[in-house]
Amino acid sequence: MKTITKIVLLISTVCSVNFSFGQEVILIRHAKVNLDTKGWIGHKKAEQLSKAYNSAPIVSFDTERILSELPDLKTDTIYVSNLSRSISTGWTLFGDSATILSSPFLDEFDLHILRLPLILPYKAWTGISRAFWFLGTNKKYNESYREAEMRVKQIADFIEQRLNYNRQVVLITHGFLNRNITKELQKRNWEKVQNNGKKNLGATILKK
């Protein structure tokens, strides 16, 4: 009787370990946006480009090559943000093989250009504006940095909840958001095994 009990406990332990082992999170940054941002500009032009960026089409890319660089798809659902560059990337990569679900919950951190009497490249405008947002001094943001941090924690909760039903979760979202999701998951003992999410169509992969 004791032997049977030990066998049952061993099987239960093995099943429990197998259920939690091999979980995978794939965070893909959207494709490059087809928008000319070259040159030195003032804050008004930077504001125009920032708004245009959210609705601009993506640049076409080699779908087969990108898919070959990603792990095999083990889920039937891809989560994307509500911004066109994320949605278009999702449909182009996985529209024939998975359901694409979009939500503003996965949108990039909000960005408002600071009004400064300067002439700068567009990337400098976004960098400075983002830095002031981190410091809490850019009051025009709809979402504060603390609120964004809370949203990231909620996204991490959502990811881990979905992993109760599927061992793989795939998100196609945005650079800053993916970076912060990665940090939050690492705090929860997820291991980062690939870190290419800074570049367009690159993926950050975490496993547990």
The per-residue pLDDT for 208 is 92
How confident is the model over 49-99, as pLDDT tens digits? Answer: 999 999 999 999 999 999 999 999 999 999 999 999 999 999 999 999 999
Q: Contact at 8 Å (CB) between 32 and 59?
A: yes
| CA distances, 11 to each of 1, 2, 7, 19 (Å) | 16, 14, 6, 12
How confident is the model over 24-46, as pLDDT tens digits? Answer: 999 999 999 999 999 999 999 99
Nearest Cα to Cα of residue 79 among 64, 60, 94, 96 = 94
The per-residue pLDDT for 60 is 97
- Cα gap 128→186, rounded to integer Å: 27
State the Cα torsion 155-160-164-167 to the nearest 10°.
100
Question: In the structure encoding, which two tokens stand for residue 160, read together?
Answer: 């881990």
